[in-house]
Structure formats: structure tokens, C-alpha cells
Structure 1
Amino acid sequence: MSLGQLFLGLLETQPRHGYDIKRLHDEHFGRDRGLHYGQVYATLSRLLKNGLVVVDGVEAGDGPERKRYAITDAGVTDFANWLAHPESPQPYLQSTLYQKVVLALLTGRSGADVLDAQRAEHLKEMRELTRRKLTGDLTDQLICDHALFHLEADLRWLELTAARLDELAARITESQR
């Protein structure tokens, strides 16, 4: 997701200071990884340069002046186009995990050990997400569900690969001759 698009969406409802944008981002999207102020102001600067936002006002404070940013008509159009455009599904055609399994087999190590270690790590993460989901608000529940569904798909792949590991090892051995 583009941080710029996210900022445009937050600004579409009303003009805001950089501090307010950071607070809203961290509250709704950044619970696990909040934004740094440098990211906020660098993104706002880029949006300003591209004509997608304007400085709507400047307020004096105890520290530096506080600029209030507002979305422009071009920014509204840009945001609406981004929102309407579906995200491309992200297939894992170059999976690091697959590469580890193949490399383990190529080097005479156990592909099953790689799969078992990964399965344990996935299950650990799933338990943590399930705990978080049970104690979290709706935002946490939805984010955790999304992550859990992806981890479930990974686990299905791990099981399928484990069932076909002998066949994969045979093909790798054959290709080495």
C-alpha cells in the first residue's frame, strides 16, 4: 500500500496536521509498526510537490510552525482512482521457503527438517495471532484473520510439500546427474 494514498484518504475527510495524520495512521493501520515523523513529513512533502495536497494553514506553536494540509481536487481524483483499482494478488512464485527445501535436498540435508521447523514457526505465530484476535477490537480481529488465513494457506503448502518430498528429492537427484 502506498503511504501517499493512505494520507490522501485521511486528508479527504478534513485538513489535518502531520501529527494528526501520524496518530490516525498508527491508530488504524500501524499498531504493530507505527510511522516515524520523518516518514510523515517526507510523504507530505512529496504529495505537496506533486500537487495532490496544499498547505491549508500555518499555526504558531511552542515549537516549529504547524502546517495543516488539505487534499486538492487532483488528490481526490488520484485517491479515488487508487481506491477503485483492485490490488493484484501476490502469488508466491519465488518462495524463499521453497528455495530452502530445494537447497536442503541439493546439499544432502533434510527437506523434512526444514518443513518441520517452518511448520512449528507458523503454528507459534498462529497461536499468538489467535490470542491477539480474542483480546483485540474489531480492527485487530480483521487484521489477525487476514494473517491467519495466509498462514493456513502456507500450512497447507507445507503439508502438500511434505507428502511429495520424496518425489521432489528424486527429481533433484536426477537433475544432478
Structure 2
Amino acid sequence: MSIPLTLLGLLEREASHGYDLKREYDALFGRGRPLPYGQVYSTLARLARDGKIIAGEAEPGSGPERRRYVITETGATEFEQWLTEAVPPEPHLQTTLFTKVVLALMLGRDAHAYLDTQRLAHLRRMRELTDLRRGGEIVDVLLADHGLFHLEADLRWIEATSGRLDQLAAKVRA
């Protein structure tokens, strides 16, 4: 996910302080991976340097001085272009799963054991996401669905690969 473009989108809605942007980002997009404050402020600094946002004057408050950030026309244009572009539908053809299977076979190791371990990890994560769907708000439900669909595809690949390990071993050991 593009953090700079996501922050531009949040700023297009309304001018905000860095602290508020982080809070909103974490609530909507940071499930399990909150955005570090340092990354928020370094990203805002780069966006300001590139003319995509303007940092307002420091405002005194009950804590450290805060700046309100406002998106510029340049930033709004870039965000609009990004928002209307399709995400490339073709996944990466060489994943970590594939790489580990090929290397295990090349080295004469048990690729079946690796695939079994990976299958169990995927199933465990799918149970967690299913639980999240049951009690979650719509944002959690949709994110869980996205994760579940990807994990289901990985599981189908694991099954197909398990059935073809002998063929793949012959190819990579040749």
C-alpha cells in the first residue's frame, strides 16, 4: 500500500495534524501494523518538499507544537490519478512459497513437510480471520475477506504443487 498516497487521500477530505492522520490511518488501514510516528512525519516532510502538501504554522497546544497539513492542487491531482488507476491484476509469478519449494527440492530436502507446515499456518490464520469476520465492523469484515480469499488461493496452490512435486523435482534437479 502506498502510505504517501493514502495520507494524501486523508488530507483531501480535510486538513489535519500529523497525529490525527496517524490515528485515522491506523483505525482504517493499520490493522495489526500501526504506522510509526516517525514514518508519518518523514512522509509528510517529503510530501511538503515535493509540493503535494503545505505544512501550516506551528500551533501551540497542551503538548508539543502541532502543524496542520493541507493538500495542494499538485497533491490532489496525483491522488486522483492514483485513485482512478487499476491495481495491476497480475500477481507476482515467483512468490516466497514457490521459491522455498524449489530450493527444498534442489537441495534434496522434504518439500512435502514444508508445504504441510505452510498449509497449517494458512489454516490457522484463516481461523483467526474468520473469527474477526464474525464480530468485526464492516472494515474488519472486508479486510478479513480479502485476506481469506488470498489464503484460499494459496491453499489451492499448495494442494496443486503437492501433487506435482515429483515433476518439479525432476525439472529442478536436472
Q: Who is 2:48 aligned against?
A: 48
Q: Who is 1:122 aligned against?
A: 122
So what's the TM-score if we normalise by structure 1? 0.91
The answer to whether 1:71 aligns with 2:87 is no
Q: Who is 1:161 aligned against?
A: 161
Q: Who is 1:37 aligned against?
A: 37
Counterpart AA for 2:62: D
For these two proteins, the number of residue pairs brought into alignment is: 174
Counterpart AA for 2:98: Y
Greater Cα offset, 18-27 or 50-59: 50-59
Distance 1:107 1:22 in 2: 45
* Aligned-partner SS, 2:55: strand
Greater Cα offset, 89-98 or 21-30: 89-98
- In 2, are the aligned partners of 1:16 and 1:68 still within 8 Å (CA)? yes
So what's the TM-score if we normalise by structure 2? 0.93
Alpha-carbon RMSD across the aligned residues, in angstroms, is 1.5
* Aligned-partner SS, 2:54: strand
Q: Greater relative contact order: 1 or 2 (C-alpha under 8 angstroms, separation 6 or more)? A: 2
Distance 2:119 2:112 in 1: 10
Q: Who is 1:84 aligned against?
A: 84
Greater Cα offset, 157-166 or 142-151: 157-166
List alignment gaps of at least 5 residues for structure 1: none
Distance 2:171 2:13 in 1: 57
Moved over 3 A (4+): none
* Aligned-partner SS, 1:59: coil
Distance 2:55 2:95 in 1: 44
Q: Who is 2:137 aligned against?
A: 137
Distance 1:62 1:87 in 2: 42
Identity among equivalent pairs (%): 53
Distance 1:58 1:106 in 2: 59
User: Which of 1 and 2 has greater Rg?
Assistant: 1
